[in-house]
Structure 1
Amino acid sequence: EIVLERDTILDEEAIEMVSEMDVKSVFIQKEDVGGDYAIIYNTLNKDTSNSELEAVQHIYRQLRGADAPDNETARGIIDKLFFSDKRYDLGEVGRYKINRKLNLNYPIEQKTLTKEDIIEIIKYLVRLTNGKAEIDDIDHLSNRRVRTVGEQLYAQFGVGLARMARTIRERMNVRDNEVFTPVDLINARTLSSVINSFFGTSQLSQFLDQTNPLSEITHKRRISALGPGGLSRERAGFEVRDVHYSHYGRLCTIETPEGPNIGLISTLCVHAKINEMGFIETPYRKVDNGKVEMKKLTFLSAEEEDIAKIAQASAPLTEKGEFAEDKVSSRQTGDFPILDKTEVEFMDVAPNQIVGLSASLIPFLEHDDANRALMGSNMQRQAVPLIRPQQPIVGTGLEAKAARDSRVQILAEGDGVIEYVDGKEIHIRYDRTEADRLVSFEDDLRVYNMTKFIKTNQETCINHKPAVKKGQRMKKGDFLTEGYAVQNGEVALGRNLQVAFMPWKGYNFEDAIVINEKVVREDLFTSVHISEYELEVRDTKLGEEELTPDIPNVSEEATKDLDENGIIRMGAAIKEGDILIGKITPKGESDPTPEEKLLRAIFGDKAGDAKDASLKAPNGVEGVVIGKKLFQRAKKDKNAKIREKASLEKLEKVHEKNTTDLKDLLLSKLQTLLKDKPSLGVANNFGEMQIGKGAKFNAKNLATLDYQNINPLGWTGDSSIDDPINTLLHNYNIKYNEELGRYKREKFNISIGDELPAGVLKLAKVYIAVKRKLKVGDKMAGRHGNKGIV
């Protein structure tokens, strides 16, 4: 018998009823409005559904805007939304962050949500509303990750493959049970067009800044908050751009542009690296009870570092590697406590760990104001490579590392002796053991061709000069060349000048600079710039245009340097207005009179029906022609087809001979390594066995293997044989791919000719080197942000 319903409020009457009856205990719910879980109580009060079924039907109605056809569908919608791996993917990063945030320990492979996740999330939200948990700091680097190029490409690939799958489905629907091959269904162009558009039009796909080696390496280490999926300049507030304590050792606090992009575009710090999750890590030395671990580095992400107590790199140490003083100045979260040496957990690896590469090249950076240091590090990237670079007298020691890692110079690949040097090539004979020779396809004598006067994207000039002499002994990693703002293996962006601070008749007012005539006369600041000029030959309505040195109404003097194609000769000195490429265009005219027709029939075409469309040197250009190129489509007449067939046959034979010779060499090397050894089983990359376990290696079974698709590991189980085999096959594949690439390129050139835009028959290019001296109006700068105009 029910006396009182559940949820009845106990008033005096109800209490009397209960006390009269023989009831031992009554469950009372105390209504605690201000309690921790009041939010859940209030939610349940508002919620109209009283069972799980009603709840899922309500959710279905909210999401789909209609009633569920049956209970299964209603239940299925939540399952599909969060718990089905076909429809939902947290990704590794998502799972890692949820585990860290909610103290769960699901494996990284668990990429869907679990019921426990949802319970923990609700608990956390309840704690948040009650002020017992902290809201995440959106600018902390543990909440921001780097999307690397590979990851963005991977996403583009996904888009391309989805499009391709759609076209395949459509084609399969159109063709009923006909016989068709995969080639008829798959259109690879859908995939390649997506990838090309990513490289061609993405906001983050940029033209490499090649002004000097430093600008190149810095551009490759840049990190941007703009672009697809990022912020926009207009909406980014002050907090996003500001320096945050978690940037320490990860993002350079100094190197960022001035202007609208300030703080949105940053550079990686010197020792920082990006882990597989996309979080930036920085190295520290572990400290155990005041003793610093010197051998091993520990990389920490911003989240792992957040609670750590970290000592400065400049903290004095004893010879044993312990802190010299009992109290150590440290860093913890955003604070700088002074701790006992036993409390410290980590120590910085280097004082320049907090800045990027450009700022690390500024000597005495600690004495510079931050704003000026910012200008200094940005202006080093604008330095033009000089004809005669000079390494700085006062450097920071990172100049050599910057020169090496920019990879613009040629380095020795091993120990050896220089046998021959001239302005174009260096021959070096490497010391190699028999074991080295066995796994290599290269000769002991290597010939390096130097890069001479190559135009960069910014029209500066890469020109290598030898930095070695004949007979000189080289170690692995030594610089063989210099030039392009590198001298003696160090980055040399400018010159060491003597500078005076004094007024000079008002000419150096504020940031103006007065320079000595000697600086210009001795070419201290002279640089070479290479410009490229091009001219297209098109097919017009009135006939084809033509490249020719024979231009109407132009003196012989003006065309004396043009070759038979109308392109100026190499080495010609030019000034403004000179003809670089001679071209004539057919010109439309009114119908000729009968008299003109007669004259034309007798004396042939008159010269006046073509107009001069030549390319002339623009204003202010004075230099020397250092290169020319002519691209044209392969024209197909009868003889051309016969010639093409003969060339292709010859190319095919050469390619076949080269690949056969290469494989024979590989087989002889493998036989030397594997003389009658028993096999542990050799499989290809698809897991199919090629040589069974226990079979002896011999010339016959080695010759049957496909070395492009072979697994190079664990052939014999003896590492002294397996390791050389792995290296040998790696080197073979490099050499094979080089040969294959050469063959494909030459085949393309013979059969198709040069790739030109539609409607263009020929394309002529001329390269001109211009020597620029320092002149009035040029900007000069030091490394500390001290800049001025000459």
Structure 2
Amino acid sequence: MNKINFGKIGAPIDPPLLLKMQKDSFAGFLQKDVAAEKRKPQGLEGAFKDIFPLTNSDESLVLEYVSYAFGEPKYSVEESIARDATYALPLKVKLRLMHKKEDGKEKELSEQEVYFGDVPLMTDTATFIINGAERVVVSQIHRSPGVIFEEDEEKRVTVLGKPLYFARMIPYRGAWVEFEFDQNGIVYVRIDRKRKIYATTFLRSLGFESDDEILNLFRESKEVSLDAPSAALANEYVAEDIFDKSTGEIIVDAGKELKEELVKKLQEKGFTSVAVLKDASILITLKKDPIKSQKEAVNHIYKVLKTQEFIMQERAQGFLEELLFKSVRRYDLTTVGRYKILKKFGPVFEYFSKNFNLNIPADNKRTLTREDVVVTLKYLLALYNGETEFTEGKQTIKIGLDDIDHLGNRRVRSVGELLENQIRIGLVQMARLVKEHMNNQDKTNVTPRSLVNITQFVAQIRKFFGTSQLSQFMDQINPLAELTHKRRLSALGPGGLNRKRAGFEVRDVHHTHYGRVCPIETPEGPNIGLITSLATFARVNPYGLIETPYKKVEDGKATDKVDYLTADKEDEFFVAQANTPLDNKGNIVSDSVHGRRFDSFVFQPPTKVDYMDISPMQVISVSAGLIPFLEHDDANRALMGCNMQRQGVPLLKTEVPLVSTGIEEKVARDSGVVIISKSDGEVVSVSADEIMIASKSGEIEVYNLRKYGRSNQDTCIDQTPLVVLGDVVKKGQVIADGPATKDGQLALGQNLLVAYMPWDGYNFEDAMLLSEKLIQDDRFTSVHIREFQAEARETKGRPEEITKDIPNVGSEDLLNLDEDGVVKAGSYVQRGDILVGKTAPKGEQQTTPEERLLRVLFGKKAEDVQDASLRVPPGVSGKVIGVRTFVRLEKLSEKERKKKQEEIREVYDAAKAKLRKDKKEQLAGANKSESSQIESLYASKEEILKKSYEAEKERLKKGDELPVSVNKIVKVYIAAKLKVQVGDKLAGRHGNKGIVARILPVEDMPRLPDGTPVDCVLSPLAIPSRMNVGQLLEIMLGWAGKELKTQMITPVFDGATEEQIKDYVEKAKAQLFAEKKKSLAAIGLKGKELDDALAKFAQESLPTSDCKVTLYDGRTGEAFMEKVTVGVMYVMKLNHLVEDKMHARSTGPYSLITRQPLGGKAQFGGQRFGEMEVWAIEGYGAAHILQEFLTVKSDDVEGRVKMYDSIIRGESISEPGIPESFKVLVNELRALSLNVELLNKETTPKPEEKE
């Protein structure tokens, strides 16, 4: 098929590998292939280095960490899935135990490798296999550590009318330190959300002991005139000591308030102006603060934090040090937090370093320093005083409040970091136990292995993968669903937000999301805005901040240089759009350029442009990038379009979309469902499940294809070869398609000929009318694979057995079972059929002496066991495509083992014989060079066959690992081929979803003038109010593409214009006209006859330029009154199939508490008849129906048994009894001491006996 790309703006770089964020994060965590001494202090290495060394109470024993190494995984990925196992690596940690002698010398006691359990390993497609299920660890977006400044939520102000601000020093792990003002302008600090203390007390505890020292740090003065009105001089404090000009003595001490008498006194002395403090907050706080020494301050803080009256001095001093300043274990800013603090306060640090000799903290300093506290306080005071910037030397920073939704203040925690945090928790719990063991054990025979107990460590990893909110069961409906699940960003989860408490601001689109987070793709419902998706070109930097690429512009000329910018860096620049017109040399052509600065769109001259967008697609995510003409759709519908593409079921016959956006191939490739050649070479063998390529180096590469695998959502994973024998392939070429792909492109649906018109009300309200031809051609047919499992367990009496010998089952029910009682592969099964025959012992019964005698005479009877077979549940039917049996080694008898060995041997011998026969045939007609290639090819094939034979033999020898008390597990896989049917949900890519309301015979469908019936009829009313006009442009371009046999590629925001679409519609019409002319000429028409026939054809059969054409009713053959819009739309079948939803119940399970039927299809429940439904029946006055609903059909236990009985016997239905809910009401009233009794009409109440 030809391709036409309408894109005008090519991106200078390709989007990064779409799974890069996940893969890089896990590789950084594991550092598997890095030599032990070269590992960075992050991930596993970082956790071990932070927790170790561990010492006992007198520090005589020290357990040091040396390094770690990994073993090999026990099972492959495929085996792990089949066996319900976890795909993991054994972790071995080398620990060294040292003995410190009293003279300070160290002696090594022992160094050992300790097994630390298994760490789940990421597969090539960035998933984890936990207990046989594929899971994804979603990245979390959370508040970055650092210092943030915010205004009081209630917008309160001080006595002087200044806003109340507060500063928060937020670490990654540890106690928060918060500074705040009260109404009087006094500065307080709160440590770890405890009671507030004066900020000056905190400063004293840090070593700034005297009042002068503290005042000097924050002293800034301004001159005021003493002639100013007294109101202007109120609340001003003298900045420095004032000396008498004549005598030199101090008249006024620094810090005195300028009251009226003081002003008069200074005026008398000849002063016209005086230096006052710019801000007196610290001075006021000092006056209020009763504490005057460091020792008192430390004790006071200890008292507040520990709420203890009795204080030990050295413990108090050590406590604060340990809490904030010393231990990374207790307080960790991380490199990100430190980077943010240094970036925010750069010039302020310089100022204190220059004027007060305070140190600037190093980049790798992860705990708090006293300088951080001083700098934060300085910034807070500047903010309080309304200053807007701070300058020191050449550096200037803006002073202002922080926006917590700004992506400069939020960062991404990916798999590696989340897992590292869990491992840290596990190690801390383990460290406690190790210290206890160290104190209790004898030092002579202690070893690292005897000290370490890994139970907590292993449990923590299991808990994270099994139960964490961020470890999710993978959405595997189709390749796009897999890919977007791995690129998802969640604000929920541990340490994140709570969906009930998250407000509107957090969920809203923020200007910093541009190019970083997709503004469209997010769920509808309670999680809207909290779960988002990474934009196409975005990447996460080592600090966890999201970056997006921009093209550098210098002096109005776009260069080839691409810079990745974080959100806070981008705020400093003016960024032009990607479609800014450029000449051949890259110069900006227009006089004023439209672009973004901070949060607004403005016009600037070309010389003021700093950067340019790299591509119009960089704003949105991959899912949104697959919607053609997205720019013509309303955002709400585009959101639905994104989410519904993820629900498209992989179809049996796939079709590439005729109108695409050009990233379909990238999605298919990066999702990992297609197979890609690893090197250049030639295809030497192709079969349904294997491709062999001889590379140029002479090696033969084998690619195994996955056939009829089951996904997490029961859709079918099937790979098919795209190459044939003898093809020459290049490295990176797609050689096999996966599910929902075609020729290496994502293909989720079918190209249908659609018409927008009403049709007898069958497409009212989003319903759809389909043609029967779609079913005949299998165009919306999908394969669904279900797994059923039977377990034979050890029970109290005797074990359950899997057998063909089942009590009370007729021979016709056993037809599909083999001699072991397991269904044969290839059998067609439906509801109620036996899949696995199983018997279980009956409960213990009392037997009579006669029965015991009969048993002794005739052996035990079959009634000892009951039928516990696995049967096909209701609503399921299909073909058995596979059976797998797992047996515990000791439960396999010698006879069975030999039989299995024989079977494996027979299969191997047959396959080997076939290979040799094929080889002989191929060698017969080959020349010398071909012969050597054939020899090496068949040698590889035999080698592979032998390996699989050995693996099977080994598996039989070892037996299978099964859960406790399970002797045997049988898994049966049933494939069902589901055709489209009435009730299925279909959707386009523009959020235009609908349910199939009727499937019409082909002959009744509306048809085009040339007799072609349309495939689908949609309602025209679905477009105006929904404003997803993209679908109309799609069907017009799609029609042109179909007629011209061309795939139209129209990238998002850079696609085909209306004029271009009309041009291609005209080209398609011209082609049809030419073909018609040729066919008419071939039957001998000439001259006027020919011209008239062509004119009639053009008038009646060709569509107008906006694709409107006269349609004819298939039932009557008459033309419809108006012309109808007809074109080709790409339609998907979604995973909401009526087959899975259809459900009916006569009787079934009841709730134990309320005695009402259970709800839902899974419980085989009933339909809830709720309060509003009762009102509806009351409205009709249908009393008997209502009584029936509320009693026998609900919770009248006796009544429903009688009712069922009388229906079976064909008798008249008895009166309903008392429902259970009424009894509950009566009992509740009794609990309130109200005795309620039910009386018949005849009976009269008994009179109360008087005492």
SS at match of 1:563: coil
One-letter amino acid of the structure 2 residue matched with residue 291 of structure 1: K
Q: Which residue of 2 aligns with 1:415?
A: 680
Q: Which residue of 2 aligns with 1:348?
A: 613
> Which has more strand, going by share of residues?
2
2:983 matches 1:777: yes
2:553 matches 1:298: no
Contact 2:522 2:528 in 1 (8 A): yes
Contact 1:423 1:465 in 2 (8 A): yes
- CA apart distance, 1:60: 3.6
Cα pair distance change 1:106/1:322, threshold 3 Å: farther
SS at match of 1:769: strand
The 5 Å alignment of 1:68-107 reads 75-86=317-328, 87-103=330-346, 104=349, 106-107=361-362
Cα pair distance change 1:603/1:81, threshold 3 Å: closer
The CA distance in 1 between the partners of 2:893 and 2:618, in whole Å, is 68
- CA apart distance, 1:164: 1.7
Contact 1:461 1:528 in 2 (8 A): yes
Contact 1:36 1:127 in 2 (8 A): no
Cα pair distance change 1:570/1:65, threshold 3 Å: closer
User: How many residues are treated as equivalent by the alignment?
Assistant: 668
Q: Which residue of 1 aligns with 2:469?
A: 203
Cα pair distance change 1:68/1:116, threshold 3 Å: farther
- CA apart distance, 1:50: 3.0
Q: Which residue of 2 aligns with 1:26?
A: 251
SS at match of 2:473: coil
What is the root-mean-square deviation in Å for CA atoms of aligned residues?
Answer: 2.9
The CA distance in 1 between the partners of 2:450 and 2:872, in whole Å, is 52
- CA apart distance, 1:337: 1.2
Q: Which residue of 2 aligns with 1:217?
A: 483
Cα pair distance change 1:28/1:607, threshold 3 Å: closer
Cα pair distance change 1:557/1:237, threshold 3 Å: same
Once the two structures are aligned, what percentage of the paired residues are identical? 51
2:842 matches 1:599: no
Q: Which residue of 1 aligns with 2:371?
A: 116
Q: Which residue of 2 aligns with 1:63?
A: 305
- CA apart distance, 1:70: 6.7
The CA distance in 1 between the partners of 2:616 and 2:875, in whole Å, is 48
Cα pair distance change 1:23/1:446, threshold 3 Å: closer
- CA apart distance, 1:603: 2.6
Q: Which residue of 1 aligns with 2:448?
A: 182
Q: Which residue of 2 aligns with 1:657?
A: none
Q: Whose radius of gyration is greater, 1 or 2?
A: 2
Contact 1:60 1:67 in 2 (8 A): no
Contact 2:303 2:311 in 1 (8 A): no
Cα pair distance change 1:177/1:485, threshold 3 Å: same
One-letter amino acid of the structure 1 residue matched with residue 491 of structure 2: A
SS at match of 1:157: helix
One-letter amino acid of the structure 2 residue matched with residue 391 of structure 1: V
In structure 1, the gaps of 5 or more residues are 1-5, 7-17, 433-442, 647-737
The CA distance in 1 between the partners of 2:657 and 2:541, in whole Å, is 35
The CA distance in 2 between the partners of 1:311 and 1:125, in whole Å, is 35
TM-score normalised to the size of structure 2?
0.51
Query: Does 148-157 or 451-460 show the bigger shift?
Result: 148-157
| Selected match of 1:406 from 671, 680, 684 | 671
Q: Deviations over 1:413-468 (max 9, x none)?
A: 11111112121211111113xxxxxxxxxx61112221100000000001111111
SS at match of 2:692: strand
Contact 1:57 1:68 in 2 (8 A): no
Cα pair distance change 1:746/1:607, threshold 3 Å: closer
2:488 matches 1:233: no
The 5 Å alignment of 1:716-731 reads none
Q: Which residue of 2 aligns with 1:649?
A: none
Q: Which residue of 2 aligns with 1:755?
A: 961
Contact 1:85 1:111 in 2 (8 A): no
Cα pair distance change 1:166/1:750, threshold 3 Å: farther
The CA distance in 2 between the partners of 1:278 and 1:138, in whole Å, is 16
One-letter amino acid of the structure 1 residue matched with residue 800 of structure 2: E
- CA apart distance, 1:620: 2.2
One-letter amino acid of the structure 1 residue matched with residue 407 of structure 2: L
Cα pair distance change 1:579/1:79, threshold 3 Å: closer
| Selected match of 1:583 from 818, 830, 838 | 838
In structure 2, the gaps of 5 or more residues are 1-211, 213-242, 260-275, 350-359, 388-398, 902-943, 997-1251
| Selected match of 2:973 from 747, 767, 770 | 767
Q: Deviations over 1:80-103 (max 9, x none)?
A: 343324553321111111111112
Cα pair distance change 1:20/1:508, threshold 3 Å: closer
| Selected match of 1:271 from 537, 542, 558 | 537
- CA apart distance, 1:619: 1.4
The CA distance in 2 between the partners of 1:117 and 1:55, in whole Å, is 19
Query: Does 160-169 or 387-396 show the bigger shift?
Result: 160-169
TM-score normalised to the size of structure 1?
0.80
One-letter amino acid of the structure 2 residue matched with residue 229 of structure 1: G
The CA distance in 2 between the partners of 1:26 and 1:238, in whole Å, is 58
- CA apart distance, 1:753: 3.2
Q: Which residue of 2 aligns with 1:689?
A: none
The 5 Å alignment of 1:482-493 reads 482-493=737-748
One-letter amino acid of the structure 1 residue matched with residue 334 of structure 2: G
The CA distance in 2 between the partners of 1:170 and 1:56, in whole Å, is 31
The CA distance in 1 between the partners of 2:754 and 2:812, in whole Å, is 48
SS at match of 1:417: strand
The CA distance in 2 between the partners of 1:52 and 1:751, in whole Å, is 74
Q: Deviations over 1:596-644 (max 9, x none)?
A: 333333332222222111111111222100011111211179979x99x
One-letter amino acid of the structure 2 residue matched with residue 357 of structure 1: V
- CA apart distance, 1:196: 0.8
The CA distance in 1 between the partners of 2:614 and 2:514, in whole Å, is 12
The CA distance in 2 between the partners of 1:469 and 1:331, in whole Å, is 52
The CA distance in 1 between the partners of 2:867 and 2:321, in whole Å, is 74
The CA distance in 2 between the partners of 1:102 and 1:19, in whole Å, is 40
Contact 1:90 1:113 in 2 (8 A): yes
One-letter amino acid of the structure 2 residue matched with residue 269 of structure 1: A
2:496 matches 1:253: no
Cα pair distance change 1:504/1:111, threshold 3 Å: same
- CA apart distance, 1:188: 2.5
Cα pair distance change 1:575/1:637, threshold 3 Å: closer
| Selected match of 1:504 from 749, 753, 759 | 759
One-letter amino acid of the structure 1 residue matched with residue 284 of structure 2: N
The 5 Å alignment of 1:289-688 reads 289-294=555-560, 296-432=561-697, 444-588=699-843, 590-635=845-890
Query: Does 111-120 or 359-368 show the bigger shift?
Result: 111-120
One-letter amino acid of the structure 1 residue matched with residue 513 of structure 2: H
- CA apart distance, 1:742: 11
SS at match of 2:885: strand
Cα pair distance change 1:746/1:299, threshold 3 Å: farther
Cα pair distance change 1:374/1:20, threshold 3 Å: closer
The CA distance in 2 between the partners of 1:638 and 1:581, in whole Å, is 20
Contact 2:821 2:836 in 1 (8 A): yes
The CA distance in 2 between the partners of 1:591 and 1:176, in whole Å, is 59
Q: Deviations over 1:105-161 (max 9, x none)?
A: 643212233333222111111122223332101111111111111111111111111
The CA distance in 2 between the partners of 1:748 and 1:221, in whole Å, is 40
One-letter amino acid of the structure 2 residue matched with residue 365 of structure 1: L
The CA distance in 2 between the partners of 1:380 and 1:172, in whole Å, is 58
The CA distance in 2 between the partners of 1:638 and 1:419, in whole Å, is 44
One-letter amino acid of the structure 2 residue matched with residue 96 of structure 1: Y
The CA distance in 1 between the partners of 2:303 and 2:844, in whole Å, is 76
